[in-house]
Every structure is written in structure tokens, then in C-alpha cells.
Structure 1
Amino acid sequence: MSRSTDAGHFFQTTAALDETARKIRKAKNKLGNPIRLPSKILAIAADPYNASCVYVAEAAGTVKRVVLETGDIAQVFRPKTNLLAPLTCLAVSTASREGAYGTLFAGSWDKNIYCWPLVKNGIKAPKQLSGHSDFIKALISLNLGDTEILVSASSDASIIVWDVKAGTKLHTLKGHSRGVTALALESLSLDEGLPFATIFSGDSNREIRRWHISIAASHELPTESNEETIPGGPFAPLLAHETSIYALRFDSDGDLWTASADKSAQCIVRERAWAVDTTLTHPDFVRDVVVDENGGWVVTACRDEEVRVWERGSGKLFHTFSGHYEEVTGLLLLADLVVSVSIDGTVRQWSLKKADLVKAIEEAAKPPLEEEEGEEEEKPKGSGMTEEEERELAELMESD
């Protein structure tokens, strides 16, 4: 017997019914030029070869390459498995090998990482990296010399460094006591052409740790020092938040921006021994943060459905983009455009040009137009998941 996913088939409280009605009304809005997909979107990544396209990871278990201007789906990448599981994170490599001009990586609930060679014609079957014992939560792709490296983080509290071509583990890093939820490549570690990299990791126990990554060896580094190669540990973690870390991003100054379930985003300053300099307070969990260096903006994604634009220098909220009708799960900065994705299954685009932001503020101040009579009601699309899977996904995202 098939299992129903229709909410109407289950008992719902008045509050739940009101919330469903609110989302149905809000789903009609065209703010951010929504591109609607049939599943919850859990992650987004840039197409390094085409700025007009993005990759999105779906709870339905596929990655789609979306054309931003038209909303067309250019490609669909499916793991080679009989049972598709939600894909939670993405990374794209530009290293060419074996007839491919790059590799698309996706981390999955099924504990595996899927690796699609990017080719000019068609889609090749993915290779699979297996080694974690729980959900994959974050990925970073980089090159060390001639070696293509992938770094993965998991709910099993470990970080694995992979040789992509060989499909083998180079190192397993342990130090976190809870699931590792975020990774960031420290940009300054790449500027000098060194044969190693430095990454930061964040977990669901609010800890931020720092790691030396190389082909020969990988190990933890102290966060109170900017030394790059001192082995040792365990070291005391950097504690800037009250609870789970959802995102880590470095800006061009080498400062670290964070997003957390403690309802804040922060800027942690490298030259001040990683002290907190700026705190951006939100009404709910902050899922992602990006920094627009040219415009002087910081943009955040929140569980309250909003995308917020902050003045980087002052930390003042400049504008709130309202359009999504479910939690915003990811952001991608493309020049003076920020692209957001959400549990509502939409991809939306927001201009960060000052003139466009001022216009958006003026438009937001106007009273909403009355709905046209007879307008067809647009209901939020289902995710293709069962009720049990929906509940498990919601619990997982809330607890991380």
C-alpha cells in the first residue's frame, strides 16, 4: 500500500492549517523571479564555466544545473543507486582529467559522496567515495600541486581528505565531538602557492577548529595562532557562538564570517587572534552568509524565510528580501547578484546594486496589491518525500 504525503489526509491543528494557508498565499509571489523546482533545495554551487548557471542539490536526491535567466533545467545528475537519498552539499572542481573538464561532487544522506565527471556531451556515470559512517554535511574541492583533493565533513564528527583521481582516503581528521556541519578554505593559505592548505571547520557543538591539509600529512592547528605547519593537538576550539555552526566563509581580508543556530552571523577577525568583531542578530537560525566585497554588503539566509542585506562596515540592516515561503537554505554570490535557495523549492535572484536595493526598499514599503479575483491558487509543490522522510529532514535540519 502506498503512503500518502498529502497533509490533508492527516489531523492538523488550527495553527498548522493557518500556517499552510499562509504559505499557499505567499507562494504566489514573484519576488526574486522564482524558478520553481519539484523538491526541497538543500544546497547551491556556482558553475565555474558559466556564470548564468548554478547547481542545486535536492532533497529528492538529484543535482540540477539551472539556467538562471530562463529557469530551464540544463542537466539532471542522478546518483547510481536504486534508492535516492537527499543530497545535502555540493562542490565543483575545475581540474581536467580523463576527458573531463571538471568534477561535480555531491554529499548524500546515504553517507556517500557522488562524483560526476563534467564532459561536453551528456552525463557520465558518477564515481562514489565511501568512508563516512553518517550523513555528509560539507565539501571543499581544491588542488595541491597536481593532485585534486576533496575534503568532506560528516555528522560522524570526522573530516576526510580524499585523493579524487585515486578515489582513496589520504587522511581522516578527528577532533570534533559532534557532527561537522561546515567547512571553509582559508584564502590566505593559497595566496603564496604553498603545497598545503588551511581549512576551518564548524560543528553542531559550536566548536570551530583549524586544520593543516597536505598530501603527506594533515593535522589540527591552534586557532590562537596563525602558524600554518605546527603539528600537535588536540587544541582548544574557537568558541564564538552558543550552538550549532551552519556556515563558514572567508572574506578577502582573511576574516571569518559565520552563520549559526544561535540566531546570529558573526565576523571573526584574523589579526585580533580570531576575536568577534561584528554580530548580526536575527529572529531565527541563520543558515548561510556571503560577503559582497565590491558592494560593501553582507547577506544572510535565515530560517524565518528572509534574505537580509547588511552594511558590512556598520553592521546595520539595510534591506530584507521577502519572497521565500519556507526556510532559506543557501546563498550564492554572483558579481552584484545574490542567488538564494529554499526548502520551498525555489531559486530566487536579488540584485545588490545600490540603486536596485533602494528601489526594493521603496517597493517593500508599498501596501500589497489585492489578489485578482479568479486568480489561480498556486500551492507549494510537494517534495516527493514521504511524511516520515519529511519529518526526519525537518528534525535533522533543526538539530544540527
Structure 2
Amino acid sequence: MSRSNDAGHFFQTTSALNESARKASKSQNTKGNPIKLPSKILAVLADPENASQIYIAEAAGNVKKINIETDDILSTFSGPTAPLTSLAVSPATSTLYAGSWDKSIWSWSLRTRKPALRFAAHTDFVKALLALRIHDTHLLVSGSADASIIVWDASTGEKLHTLKGHTRGVLHLALDPETYPPDADVNVVTVFSAGSDREIRRWSVGREAAGEIQGADGVPAPVVAHETSVFAACFDGAGDLWSASADKTARCLARARGFEADTELVHPDFVRGVVVDEVGGWVVTACRDEEVRVWEKGSGELHHLFEGHYEEVTGIVLLEGQRVVSVSIDGTVRRWSLKAAELAKAIKEAEDERAGKIQEVEAGEKQEGLMTVEEEAELAELMEDSD
């Protein structure tokens, strides 16, 4: 055990103290041009109306709208006292939604920033949200740790449908773009749900009816491609689904093969988020080990690792212009570029930094091996005596 007069060190192991010291030291870095906030950040969402703005959900119960080019906090939406876990925005109604640990969904007018309808029917944390429009009906879809999905009339707060199939919590919802093309005249859409039961399920969702999509034999056919919880999923330009899991992998699930896994990206810890940059051919993942990784989409090879966060990365979003924004429990928002020149520069800087650290270690080891003039004289005298 380490000894200290600091009361904060009582009952802590040496390894725990070393870890605290490491994080304190790493917190001073400016990689990714961090925007520092006072609370843990649990979710991030791109502003659908402005490519330079994002929304973040805080453990303190606030949602903040941030301009990532100016670092300005443009708006703060408050009211909840419990942590917020998930976000959705409806541009058509200018409404912001946030799922909360208090088992409800909060909403605000984007124009006035005042609280609007509050949706309450779940019996556990709300973990995932989707806002969508079918004809003139605005729907809100929510997934919860209570293992249920609820479809709401977003305009009235009326609960329309409750969907059950997962045996454990629902962690993420993704809208299938093939059933929801821009300006499409559709009556139903397909929503994919990912859960802590390791399953990904598919649902047909509309105002009048909703239910799980059946397989060829007439029974639900969940996609099972991971060993444990699936935290996030997103579709790429080809319509394939990329998933991020607590089994320490991100995987590409090929639509043409019934969403069978055909690419596996192995990580050292839980994978919390995944996005796909079609312009550069990159897959970017967020990991519990504090890092953001860039992978070659075609080969599945690791191309670069963005270091900067000093706590678990809880979410990432891809913005126009090949920009990635990551958020973390460390309370920072960080920005990374996937443009060829800037990515090459980041790789070179990382290599130079690693080389510098190696040189420092080697210099330290060499210095430890040197003797003072007095020590050399004493050694020579001892050797003469031994003769």
C-alpha cells in the first residue's frame, strides 16, 4: 500500500493511485481541441439542420447545443434532475427529446428552449430514441432498460404501441434507410433495435400498427452476431449494418446475407459507438479504453488511433466534411478530421510522439547505468584490492 497524508488516498491501492495520476496527467492534453463541460457526457447527436452543431446529453440532467467550430454553447435545455442517456430531434416540429434515468422522455421547443410534453410509461431507464415522420404524423420511438419499445404520437404524447421481444434492456434504435428514403410516401418503416440480450431485432412501425418482422417460418428472426450486449448500430451507404458490442468487437452485418457478420474489428475493451465515412472509406469506433479508432472499411485493418480522452468514450457522430466528434465521461467534446491530409498529419504526429517517448525511456535507462567519478574511483580501488 502507498502511504500518504492526503485523505483522498486512504484505502486506495498503489495501482488505483497510479491510475488516478495517469488520468490527471492525461487530462491536460489538448488533442482533438477539447471543449470542456462540467458534467459527464452520456450521448451526442448531430444537429440535422446545421452541420457545425451538435447536441450533448449530460449526467447532470442538461442538454447542450454546441457549435463545434466556435466552441460556443448556443443553448442549454434544463429540467431533469437525473442523467440523460439518449437524444433525438424532430426538425419538422422543432422539438428536442431526451431519454432519462427517471424513466421518462423529456422534450423542449427548440425555439423557446422551454419544456414541452413529457412522455412517461416505461418502468426503467430510457436508453434509446428515434424521431420520425410518416405522412403528417410525427412519431417518437423509445427503447428502455425495461426491455420494451414504445411508439408514441409525438404531437400529443399518446402511447400508440408497445413492442416486446427483447429479454433484456434495449440499448439502441436505428432506422433502416431503405424503408425511409427522403420524401418517401410510406405508411410504415423498419426500425432495428439492439439490446443487452445480444440480439438485434427488426420492427415494422407505423401509426396504425407496429410489430416485429417475421422470418420465413412465420416467427421473429432476431439477428444474433455478437456474444453479448450491442451498444450501437448504424447503416452504411450500401445498406449494411455496423454494430458495436461489449464483446469487444464492431462488426459489419451484410444485408445480402441476412445480416450475417462478414467483417470483425477487434478492440481491447467494450465498443460503445460506430460510424462509417463513405467518402474516405473509413469505419470509426469509440471504445471504453478511452480511444477513437479509424479502420479501413474494405480490409478491416486498423489505420489510426486518436488519443485524447482520459475516460471512457461514450459516443461518436460523423459530420459533413469528414469530421468526427467524440464525447466522454471525462466531460470533453473532441473533434477529429478524416480528410486525407489531416489524417496523415495526425498519424505523423503520433509517430513522432511515440519516438520521443522511446528516446526519453532509453535516455533514462542510459542515465541510470552511468556512474559518478567517485563511484568509478571506488570501483577501481575495489578491483585493485581484489587483485
**TM-score normalised to structure 1 length:** 0.84
How many angstroms apart in 1 are the aligned matches of 2:51 and 2:197? 36
For residue 242 of structure 1, what is the aligned residue in structure 2? 227
For the pair shown, the structure with the greater C-alpha radius of gyration is: 2
How many angstroms apart in 2 are the aligned matches of 1:285 and 1:345? 19
For residue 363 of structure 1, what is the aligned residue in structure 2? 349
Q: Could you report, residue by residue, the CA deviation over 1:246-300 in whole angstroms, capped at 9, with x for unpaired residues?
A: 0011112111110000000000011111111111000000000000111111000
Letter of the 1:159 partner, please give it: I
Q: Could you report, residue by residue, the CA deviation over 1:287-343 in whole angstroms, capped at 9, with x for unpaired residues?
A: 000001111110000000000001111111110000000000000101210000001
How many angstroms apart in 1 are the aligned matches of 2:102 and 2:7? 26
For residue 123 of structure 1, what is the aligned residue in structure 2? 113
1:308-327 correspondence runs (5 A): 308-327=293-312
How far the C-alpha of 1:7 sits from its partner, in A, is 8.4
1:163-174 correspondence runs (5 A): 163-174=153-164
1:267-346 correspondence runs (5 A): 267-335=252-320, 336-346=322-332
Q: Is the 8 A contact 2:252 2:264 kept in 1?
A: yes
For residue 86 of structure 1, what is the aligned residue in structure 2? 83
Q: CA RMSD in A?
A: 1.7
How many angstroms apart in 1 are the aligned matches of 2:51 and 2:192? 27
How many angstroms apart in 1 are the aligned matches of 2:249 and 2:124? 27
1:34-53 correspondence runs (5 A): 34-53=34-53
Q: Is the 8 A contact 1:287 1:330 kept in 2?
A: yes
For residue 210 of structure 2, what is the aligned residue in structure 1? 218
Q: Is the 8 A contact 2:52 2:68 kept in 1?
A: yes
Q: Structure 1 75/89 Cα, relative in aligned 2: closer, same or farther at 3 Å?
A: same
Determine which of 244, 249, 255 is the counterpart of 1:259: 244
Q: Which runs of 5+ in 1 are unaligned?
A: 1-5, 97-101, 371-400
Where in structure 1 do 4 or more consecutive aligned residues deviate above 6 Å?
A: none
Letter of the 1:305 partner, please give it: E
Q: Is the 8 A contact 1:44 1:330 kept in 2?
A: yes
How far the C-alpha of 1:236 sits from its partner, in A, is 3.4
For residue 108 of structure 1, what is the aligned residue in structure 2? 100
- Higher-RCO chain (CA-CA 8 Å, sequence separation at least 6): 1
How many angstroms apart in 2 are the aligned matches of 1:202 and 1:338? 23
For residue 384 of structure 1, what is the aligned residue in structure 2? none
For residue 154 of structure 1, what is the aligned residue in structure 2? 144
1:168-247 correspondence runs (5 A): 168-191=158-181, 193-222=185-214, 233=219, 235-247=220-232
Q: Could you report, residue by residue, the CA deviation over 1:94-138 in whole angstroms, capped at 9, with x for unpaired residues?
A: 113xxxxx110000000010011111xx42223200010000000
Q: Is the 8 A contact 1:187 1:252 kept in 2?
A: no
For residue 21 of structure 1, what is the aligned residue in structure 2? 21
How many angstroms apart in 1 are the aligned matches of 2:7 and 2:40? 16
Secondary structure of the equivalent of 2:349?
helix
How many angstroms apart in 2 are the aligned matches of 1:172 and 1:73? 36
Letter of the 1:75 partner, please give it: S
How many angstroms apart in 1 are the aligned matches of 2:110 and 2:331? 25
Q: Is the 8 A contact 1:57 1:89 kept in 2?
A: yes
How many angstroms apart in 2 are the aligned matches of 1:10 and 1:199? 50
Letter of the 1:56 partner, please give it: I
Letter of the 2:109 partner, please give it: P
Secondary structure of the equivalent of 1:133?
coil
Letter of the 1:165 partner, please give it: S
Secondary structure of the equivalent of 1:367?
helix
**TM-score normalised to structure 2 length:** 0.87
Q: Could you report, residue by residue, the CA deviation over 1:52-94 in whole angstroms, capped at 9, with x for unpaired residues?
A: 2211000111001112122221111012x5xx00000001111
Secondary structure of the equivalent of 1:39?
coil
How many angstroms apart in 1 are the aligned matches of 2:208 and 2:237? 28
For residue 60 of structure 1, what is the aligned residue in structure 2? 60
Q: Could you report, residue by residue, the CA deviation over 1:163-210 in whole angstroms, capped at 9, with x for unpaired residues?
A: 010111110000111011111100000125321100111111101110
For residue 370 of structure 2, what is the aligned residue in structure 1? none
Q: Structure 1 7/114 Cα, relative in aligned 2: closer, same or farther at 3 Å?
A: farther
Secondary structure of the equivalent of 1:246?
strand
User: In terms of mean alpha carbon deviation, does 240-249 or 43-52 score higher?
Assistant: 43-52
Letter of the 2:25 partner, please give it: R
Instruction: Count matched residues.
Output: 348
How many angstroms apart in 2 are the aligned matches of 1:208 and 1:47? 26
Letter of the 2:20 partner, please give it: T
How many angstroms apart in 2 are the aligned matches of 1:22 and 1:319? 22
How many angstroms apart in 2 are the aligned matches of 1:275 and 1:361? 33
How many angstroms apart in 2 are the aligned matches of 1:362 and 1:193? 49
Q: Structure 1 254/221 Cα, relative in aligned 2: closer, same or farther at 3 Å?
A: same
